[in-house]
Amino acid sequence: MSTLIETGPYKLLNKDSTDRLSRKATEKLLQLKRSENLSETEYNDITPKQKQPPRIYSVSKIYKTDVSLRPIVSCVNTLAYDLSGYLARILSLLTEETVQAALHRLNNDPSLPDRTALTPPQIADLLNFVLRSTYFKYNGALYDQQERATMGILFSAVIADLYMKAFEEQTEATAPEPPRICKRYVDDNLTVTKQHNVDNFLSHLSQQHLSIRFTMETENSNKITFLDTLVTREPDETAQETKHLSALLVANGYPPYFLQKVTKTRLPTPERKTAECKSTAVLLYIKGVSELLRRHLRQQGIRTVFKSDTTLRYRLVRPKDPADPNKQDGVVYKIPCSCSKVYIRKTGRPMQERMKEHDRDIRLARTQNSAVPEHAN
Protein backbone atom coordinates (compact mmCIF):
# COMPACT_ATOMS: atom_id res chain seq x y z
CA MET A 1 0.00 0.00 0.00
CA SER A 2 2.84 2.39 0.82
CA THR A 3 4.32 1.78 -2.63
CA LEU A 4 0.97 2.55 -4.22
CA ILE A 5 0.77 5.84 -2.31
CA GLU A 6 4.33 6.82 -3.25
CA THR A 7 3.94 6.04 -6.96
CA GLY A 8 0.33 7.12 -7.42
CA PRO A 9 -1.14 10.57 -8.08
CA TYR A 10 -0.90 11.57 -4.43
CA LYS A 11 0.76 14.53 -2.73
CA LEU A 12 1.73 14.67 0.93
CA LEU A 13 0.00 17.54 2.75
CA ASN A 14 1.59 19.63 5.47
CA LYS A 15 -1.65 20.20 7.41
CA ASP A 16 -5.20 18.95 7.71
CA SER A 17 -7.43 20.90 5.32
CA THR A 18 -10.70 19.65 6.80
CA ASP A 19 -11.62 22.91 8.54
CA ARG A 20 -10.75 25.05 5.51
CA LEU A 21 -12.75 22.89 3.10
CA SER A 22 -15.63 22.68 5.55
CA ARG A 23 -15.83 26.48 5.75
CA LYS A 24 -15.60 26.77 1.97
CA ALA A 25 -18.39 24.23 1.44
CA THR A 26 -20.58 25.97 4.01
CA GLU A 27 -20.07 29.32 2.27
CA LYS A 28 -21.07 27.86 -1.10
CA LEU A 29 -24.16 26.19 0.30
CA LEU A 30 -25.16 29.28 2.27
CA GLN A 31 -25.05 31.36 -0.91
CA LEU A 32 -27.28 28.81 -2.65
CA LYS A 33 -29.73 28.87 0.26
CA ARG A 34 -29.87 32.66 0.27
CA SER A 35 -30.57 32.65 -3.47
CA GLU A 36 -33.37 30.12 -2.77
CA ASN A 37 -31.74 27.41 -4.86
CA LEU A 38 -31.52 25.26 -1.75
CA SER A 39 -34.30 24.79 0.75
CA GLU A 40 -33.70 25.04 4.48
CA THR A 41 -34.04 21.27 4.79
CA GLU A 42 -31.59 20.57 1.96
CA TYR A 43 -29.12 23.06 3.39
CA ASN A 44 -29.26 21.45 6.82
CA ASP A 45 -28.94 17.96 5.35
CA ILE A 46 -25.83 18.58 3.24
CA THR A 47 -23.96 21.25 5.20
CA PRO A 48 -20.69 19.75 6.53
CA LYS A 49 -20.99 18.58 10.12
CA GLN A 50 -18.28 15.95 10.45
CA LYS A 51 -14.64 16.82 11.03
CA GLN A 52 -13.01 13.49 10.17
CA PRO A 53 -10.66 13.44 7.17
CA PRO A 54 -11.31 10.67 4.62
CA ARG A 55 -9.30 7.51 5.20
CA ILE A 56 -7.86 5.22 2.56
CA TYR A 57 -7.78 1.44 2.57
CA SER A 58 -7.14 -1.21 -0.05
CA VAL A 59 -8.82 -4.30 -1.44
CA SER A 60 -6.74 -7.04 -3.02
CA LYS A 61 -7.32 -7.67 -6.72
CA ILE A 62 -6.51 -11.36 -6.73
CA TYR A 63 -7.19 -11.66 -10.46
CA LYS A 64 -4.57 -9.03 -11.40
CA THR A 65 -0.85 -9.74 -11.33
CA ASP A 66 0.52 -6.28 -12.11
CA VAL A 67 -1.56 -4.20 -9.66
CA SER A 68 -2.53 -6.25 -6.61
CA LEU A 69 -4.35 -3.54 -4.62
CA ARG A 70 -7.34 -1.34 -5.36
CA PRO A 71 -7.27 1.86 -3.26
CA ILE A 72 -10.61 3.00 -1.87
CA VAL A 73 -11.09 6.20 0.09
CA SER A 74 -13.72 5.95 2.80
CA CYS A 75 -15.69 9.20 2.78
CA VAL A 76 -18.25 8.10 5.35
CA ASN A 77 -18.75 10.76 8.03
CA THR A 78 -16.56 13.28 6.20
CA LEU A 79 -17.34 16.86 5.22
CA ALA A 80 -18.43 16.11 1.63
CA TYR A 81 -20.26 12.83 2.27
CA ASP A 82 -23.80 14.22 2.47
CA LEU A 83 -23.15 16.69 -0.35
CA SER A 84 -21.87 13.95 -2.67
CA GLY A 85 -24.96 11.87 -1.90
CA TYR A 86 -27.16 14.83 -2.80
CA LEU A 87 -25.31 15.29 -6.10
CA ALA A 88 -25.51 11.56 -6.83
CA ARG A 89 -29.30 11.70 -6.58
CA ILE A 90 -29.39 14.58 -9.06
CA LEU A 91 -27.07 12.87 -11.53
CA SER A 92 -28.43 9.34 -11.22
CA LEU A 93 -30.99 9.81 -14.01
CA LEU A 94 -28.28 10.83 -16.47
CA THR A 95 -26.46 7.52 -16.59
CA GLU A 96 -27.87 6.73 -20.01
CA GLU A 97 -26.45 9.91 -21.56
CA THR A 98 -22.94 10.75 -22.69
CA VAL A 99 -20.85 13.27 -20.79
CA GLN A 100 -21.09 15.71 -23.70
CA ALA A 101 -24.88 15.52 -23.61
CA ALA A 102 -25.16 15.66 -19.82
CA LEU A 103 -25.13 19.45 -19.54
CA HIS A 104 -27.55 19.75 -22.45
CA ARG A 105 -29.79 17.19 -20.75
CA LEU A 106 -29.73 19.15 -17.50
CA ASN A 107 -30.62 22.38 -19.29
CA ASN A 108 -33.54 20.76 -21.08
CA ASP A 109 -34.63 18.14 -18.59
CA PRO A 110 -38.16 18.99 -17.37
CA SER A 111 -37.73 16.70 -14.36
CA LEU A 112 -34.66 18.55 -13.04
CA PRO A 113 -36.76 20.99 -10.93
CA ASP A 114 -38.36 17.96 -9.28
CA ARG A 115 -34.94 16.81 -8.08
CA THR A 116 -33.36 20.14 -7.22
CA ALA A 117 -33.69 23.91 -7.55
CA LEU A 118 -30.02 24.17 -8.48
CA THR A 119 -29.09 25.30 -11.98
CA PRO A 120 -26.72 23.22 -14.14
CA PRO A 121 -23.78 25.63 -13.56
CA GLN A 122 -24.39 25.48 -9.81
CA ILE A 123 -24.44 21.68 -9.93
CA ALA A 124 -21.18 21.74 -11.89
CA ASP A 125 -19.62 24.06 -9.30
CA LEU A 126 -20.53 21.73 -6.43
CA LEU A 127 -19.30 18.73 -8.40
CA ASN A 128 -16.01 20.48 -8.99
CA PHE A 129 -15.69 21.27 -5.28
CA VAL A 130 -16.29 17.68 -4.17
CA LEU A 131 -14.00 16.24 -6.84
CA ARG A 132 -11.23 18.58 -5.74
CA SER A 133 -11.69 17.69 -2.06
CA THR A 134 -9.85 14.42 -2.63
CA TYR A 135 -7.59 14.21 0.38
CA PHE A 136 -7.28 11.30 2.79
CA LYS A 137 -5.41 10.00 5.79
CA TYR A 138 -2.93 7.12 5.64
CA ASN A 139 -0.59 5.99 8.41
CA GLY A 140 -1.24 9.22 10.27
CA ALA A 141 -0.22 11.42 7.30
CA LEU A 142 -2.54 13.37 4.99
CA TYR A 143 -2.38 13.13 1.20
CA ASP A 144 -4.10 14.92 -1.66
CA GLN A 145 -5.16 12.95 -4.73
CA GLN A 146 -4.01 14.94 -7.76
CA GLU A 147 -5.89 13.07 -10.50
CA ARG A 148 -9.01 10.97 -11.08
CA ALA A 149 -12.19 10.64 -9.06
CA THR A 150 -11.84 9.00 -5.68
CA MET A 151 -13.41 5.59 -5.22
CA GLY A 152 -15.55 6.03 -2.14
CA ILE A 153 -17.35 9.27 -3.03
CA LEU A 154 -21.06 8.55 -3.40
CA PHE A 155 -21.37 9.88 -6.94
CA SER A 156 -18.12 8.33 -8.22
CA ALA A 157 -20.03 5.46 -9.83
CA VAL A 158 -22.39 7.89 -11.59
CA ILE A 159 -19.53 10.05 -12.86
CA ALA A 160 -17.58 6.99 -13.98
CA ASP A 161 -20.59 5.61 -15.83
CA LEU A 162 -21.21 8.93 -17.56
CA TYR A 163 -17.62 9.13 -18.71
CA MET A 164 -17.34 5.48 -19.75
CA LYS A 165 -20.56 5.77 -21.75
CA ALA A 166 -19.05 8.59 -23.78
CA PHE A 167 -15.72 6.76 -23.92
CA GLU A 168 -17.17 3.58 -25.41
CA GLU A 169 -19.27 5.47 -27.95
CA GLN A 170 -16.22 7.42 -29.09
CA THR A 171 -14.13 4.25 -29.21
CA GLU A 172 -16.62 2.27 -31.27
CA ALA A 173 -17.28 5.20 -33.61
CA THR A 174 -13.58 5.67 -34.38
CA ALA A 175 -12.51 2.01 -34.43
CA PRO A 176 -11.30 0.80 -37.86
CA GLU A 177 -13.16 -2.45 -37.22
CA PRO A 178 -15.74 -2.16 -34.42
CA PRO A 179 -16.37 -5.28 -32.34
CA ARG A 180 -19.43 -7.38 -32.99
CA ILE A 181 -20.53 -7.22 -29.34
CA CYS A 182 -19.28 -4.94 -26.57
CA LYS A 183 -20.96 -5.12 -23.16
CA ARG A 184 -19.71 -2.97 -20.29
CA TYR A 185 -20.18 -2.86 -16.53
CA VAL A 186 -18.43 0.27 -15.17
CA ASP A 187 -14.91 -0.35 -16.56
CA ASP A 188 -15.11 -4.08 -17.30
CA ASN A 189 -15.91 -4.98 -20.89
CA LEU A 190 -16.93 -8.20 -22.57
CA THR A 191 -16.07 -7.89 -26.25
CA VAL A 192 -16.72 -10.23 -29.15
CA THR A 193 -14.65 -9.54 -32.24
CA LYS A 194 -12.78 -11.40 -34.94
CA GLN A 195 -9.52 -13.07 -34.00
CA HIS A 196 -7.35 -10.87 -36.20
CA ASN A 197 -8.89 -7.73 -34.66
CA VAL A 198 -8.23 -8.52 -30.99
CA ASP A 199 -4.84 -6.82 -30.61
CA ASN A 200 -5.80 -3.96 -32.91
CA PHE A 201 -8.92 -3.14 -30.90
CA LEU A 202 -7.01 -3.32 -27.60
CA SER A 203 -4.44 -0.87 -28.97
CA HIS A 204 -7.23 1.41 -30.18
CA LEU A 205 -8.80 1.41 -26.70
CA SER A 206 -5.55 2.39 -25.01
CA GLN A 207 -5.00 5.28 -27.43
CA GLN A 208 -8.21 7.08 -26.44
CA HIS A 209 -6.88 8.60 -23.19
CA LEU A 210 -3.38 8.94 -21.79
CA SER A 211 -4.44 7.96 -18.26
CA ILE A 212 -6.57 4.96 -19.22
CA ARG A 213 -4.93 1.68 -20.10
CA PHE A 214 -6.76 -1.56 -20.78
CA THR A 215 -5.63 -5.11 -20.13
CA MET A 216 -7.04 -8.10 -21.94
CA GLU A 217 -7.96 -11.67 -21.21
CA THR A 218 -8.89 -13.96 -24.07
CA GLU A 219 -11.04 -17.05 -23.96
CA ASN A 220 -9.47 -20.35 -23.04
CA SER A 221 -11.15 -23.51 -24.33
CA ASN A 222 -14.16 -21.40 -25.38
CA LYS A 223 -14.52 -20.04 -21.84
CA ILE A 224 -13.83 -16.68 -20.19
CA THR A 225 -14.67 -15.11 -16.84
CA PHE A 226 -16.59 -11.83 -16.79
CA LEU A 227 -17.70 -10.24 -13.50
CA ASP A 228 -17.18 -13.51 -11.62
CA THR A 229 -19.38 -15.31 -14.16
CA LEU A 230 -18.06 -18.04 -16.45
CA VAL A 231 -19.11 -17.32 -20.03
CA THR A 232 -18.97 -20.32 -22.39
CA ARG A 233 -19.08 -20.16 -26.17
CA GLU A 234 -20.82 -23.20 -27.61
CA PRO A 235 -21.35 -24.26 -31.25
CA ASP A 236 -24.62 -22.86 -32.56
CA GLU A 237 -26.36 -26.06 -33.67
CA THR A 238 -29.75 -24.36 -33.43
CA ALA A 239 -28.91 -22.05 -36.32
CA GLN A 240 -28.06 -25.00 -38.58
CA GLU A 241 -31.25 -26.82 -37.63
CA THR A 242 -33.33 -23.69 -38.24
CA LYS A 243 -31.73 -23.21 -41.64
CA HIS A 244 -32.41 -26.83 -42.61
CA LEU A 245 -36.03 -26.62 -41.42
CA SER A 246 -36.58 -23.37 -43.29
CA ALA A 247 -35.28 -24.91 -46.51
CA LEU A 248 -37.67 -27.86 -46.16
CA LEU A 249 -40.66 -25.60 -45.52
CA VAL A 250 -39.86 -23.38 -48.50
CA ALA A 251 -39.43 -26.43 -50.73
CA ASN A 252 -42.88 -27.64 -49.69
CA GLY A 253 -44.55 -24.33 -50.50
CA TYR A 254 -45.23 -22.92 -47.02
CA PRO A 255 -45.79 -19.12 -46.89
CA PRO A 256 -43.15 -16.80 -45.35
CA TYR A 257 -45.31 -15.79 -42.34
CA PHE A 258 -45.70 -19.45 -41.36
CA LEU A 259 -41.98 -19.99 -41.80
CA GLN A 260 -41.23 -17.08 -39.47
CA LYS A 261 -43.72 -18.32 -36.90
CA VAL A 262 -42.30 -21.83 -36.81
CA THR A 263 -38.64 -20.82 -36.57
CA LYS A 264 -39.35 -18.47 -33.64
CA THR A 265 -41.18 -21.07 -31.56
CA ARG A 266 -39.59 -21.73 -28.19
CA LEU A 267 -40.21 -24.62 -25.86
CA PRO A 268 -41.71 -23.58 -22.52
CA THR A 269 -39.32 -23.64 -19.60
CA PRO A 270 -40.53 -25.99 -16.88
CA GLU A 271 -41.20 -24.31 -13.57
CA ARG A 272 -38.91 -25.29 -10.75
CA LYS A 273 -40.53 -25.97 -7.45
CA THR A 274 -38.73 -24.40 -4.54
CA ALA A 275 -39.45 -25.05 -0.93
CA GLU A 276 -40.91 -22.08 0.89
CA CYS A 277 -38.98 -20.87 3.90
CA LYS A 278 -40.51 -18.87 6.70
CA SER A 279 -37.23 -17.21 7.62
CA THR A 280 -33.46 -17.34 7.21
CA ALA A 281 -30.87 -17.93 9.92
CA VAL A 282 -27.25 -16.80 9.46
CA LEU A 283 -24.99 -18.84 11.72
CA LEU A 284 -21.30 -19.37 12.31
CA TYR A 285 -20.13 -22.59 10.66
CA ILE A 286 -18.89 -25.34 12.97
CA LYS A 287 -17.89 -28.57 11.28
CA GLY A 288 -19.93 -31.56 12.41
CA VAL A 289 -22.57 -29.42 14.11
CA SER A 290 -23.77 -27.09 11.37
CA GLU A 291 -24.84 -29.90 9.02
CA LEU A 292 -27.08 -31.46 11.67
CA LEU A 293 -28.48 -28.09 12.65
CA ARG A 294 -29.34 -27.30 9.03
CA ARG A 295 -31.42 -30.48 8.69
CA HIS A 296 -33.40 -29.74 11.83
CA LEU A 297 -34.03 -26.11 10.88
CA ARG A 298 -35.09 -27.10 7.36
CA GLN A 299 -37.83 -29.26 8.88
CA GLN A 300 -39.11 -26.14 10.62
CA GLY A 301 -39.12 -24.14 7.37
CA ILE A 302 -36.00 -22.15 8.22
CA ARG A 303 -33.31 -21.66 5.60
CA THR A 304 -29.79 -21.75 7.00
CA VAL A 305 -26.81 -19.77 5.73
CA PHE A 306 -23.43 -20.33 7.32
CA LYS A 307 -20.56 -17.88 7.54
CA SER A 308 -16.94 -18.12 8.58
CA ASP A 309 -15.34 -16.08 11.33
CA THR A 310 -12.33 -15.56 9.05
CA THR A 311 -13.27 -14.03 5.70
CA LEU A 312 -11.30 -13.20 2.58
CA ARG A 313 -12.00 -9.54 3.31
CA TYR A 314 -10.37 -9.93 6.72
CA ARG A 315 -7.34 -11.56 5.10
CA LEU A 316 -6.96 -9.34 2.04
CA VAL A 317 -8.23 -5.87 2.91
CA ARG A 318 -5.79 -3.36 4.36
CA PRO A 319 -7.73 -1.66 7.18
CA LYS A 320 -8.23 2.08 7.40
CA ASP A 321 -6.49 4.35 9.85
CA PRO A 322 -8.42 4.51 13.13
CA ALA A 323 -10.77 7.46 13.43
CA ASP A 324 -9.69 10.28 15.72
CA PRO A 325 -12.06 10.05 18.73
CA ASN A 326 -11.78 13.81 19.30
CA LYS A 327 -13.27 14.43 15.85
CA GLN A 328 -16.05 11.86 16.04
CA ASP A 329 -19.64 12.99 16.30
CA GLY A 330 -22.67 11.24 17.72
CA VAL A 331 -20.76 10.00 20.77
CA VAL A 332 -21.55 9.54 24.45
CA TYR A 333 -18.96 11.28 26.62
CA LYS A 334 -18.16 11.52 30.31
CA ILE A 335 -16.59 14.41 32.23
CA PRO A 336 -15.33 13.42 35.70
CA CYS A 337 -14.96 15.92 38.53
CA SER A 338 -12.51 15.88 41.44
CA CYS A 339 -15.50 15.66 43.79
CA SER A 340 -16.20 12.16 42.35
CA LYS A 341 -19.28 13.30 40.41
CA VAL A 342 -19.48 12.71 36.67
CA TYR A 343 -21.34 14.37 33.82
CA ILE A 344 -22.54 11.99 31.05
CA ARG A 345 -24.21 13.20 27.89
CA LYS A 346 -24.56 12.44 24.18
CA THR A 347 -23.63 14.96 21.49
CA GLY A 348 -24.14 15.15 17.76
CA ARG A 349 -21.24 17.58 17.46
CA PRO A 350 -17.59 16.59 17.02
CA MET A 351 -16.17 15.72 20.43
CA GLN A 352 -13.46 18.37 20.45
CA GLU A 353 -15.94 21.12 19.58
CA ARG A 354 -18.26 20.07 22.39
CA MET A 355 -15.37 20.12 24.87
CA LYS A 356 -14.43 23.62 23.73
CA GLU A 357 -18.01 24.72 24.31
CA HIS A 358 -17.93 23.36 27.86
CA ASP A 359 -14.62 25.14 28.52
CA ARG A 360 -16.05 28.39 27.18
CA ASP A 361 -19.19 28.06 29.27
CA ILE A 362 -17.12 27.49 32.42
CA ARG A 363 -14.86 30.45 31.66
CA LEU A 364 -17.79 32.79 30.95
CA ALA A 365 -19.98 31.34 33.72
CA ARG A 366 -22.81 30.44 31.34
CA THR A 367 -24.55 28.25 33.87
CA GLN A 368 -27.76 28.07 31.85
CA ASN A 369 -26.15 26.07 29.03
CA SER A 370 -25.46 22.84 30.93
CA ALA A 371 -24.78 21.36 34.34
CA VAL A 372 -21.01 21.53 33.77
CA PRO A 373 -20.54 25.31 34.19
CA GLU A 374 -23.21 25.34 36.89
CA HIS A 375 -21.29 22.75 38.90
CA ALA A 376 -17.92 24.39 38.23
CA ASN A 377 -19.10 27.82 39.33
Note the pLDDT tens digit of each residue in 234-278.
766 666 667 776 777 777 776 766 666 655 655 455 555 555 677
CB atoms < 10 A from the CB of 176, how many?
8
What's the burial of 340, exposed, middle or buried (CB within 10 Å: 0-12/13-18/19+)? exposed
Q: What does the domain layout of the chain look like in residue ranges?
A: 1-161, 175-232, 278-308, 331-374
pLDDT in tens, the chain (377 residues): 777 787 778 888 888 888 889 899 999 999 999 998 989 999 998 898 887 888 887 776 655 555 567 788 888 888 888 888 888 778 765 544 333 445 666 777 788 888 888 888 888 788 778 777 777 777 878 887 766 666 677 777 777 777 777 778 888 888 888 888 888 776 788 888 888 888 898 888 888 877 777 888 888 888 888 776 788 877 666 666 677 767 777 777 767 666 666 556 554 555 555 556 778 888 888 888 888 888 888 888 888 888 877 666 666 666 677 778 888 888 899 999 988 889 999 888 888 888 999 999 998 988 888 898 888 88
DSSP 317: P
Whether 316 contacts 60, CB under 8 Å: yes
Tell me what pLDDT residue 282 has.
87
Whether 188 contacts 159, CB under 8 Å: no
pTM above 0.75, yes or no: no
User: Hey, which residues does 226 pair with through a beta bridge?
Assistant: 229
DSSP secondary structure string, 45-70?
A: HHS----BPPEEEEEE-TT-SS--EE
DSSP 187: T
For residue range 67-81, what is the model confidence (pLDDT) as tens digits? Answer: 567 788 888 888 888
Helices (H) and strands (E) in the chain, counts: 15, 13
Strands 279-284 and 188-192: unpaired
Tell me what pLDDT residue 291 has.
87
Query: Residue 238 is which amino acid?
Result: T
Half-sphere exposure of 272 (CA within 13 A, CB side): 1
Cβ contacts of 246 within 8 Å, gap of 6 or more: 259, 263
Tell me what pLDDT residue 238 has.
64
| 307: enclosing H helix or E strand | strand 302-307
Whether 46 contacts 61, CB under 8 Å: no
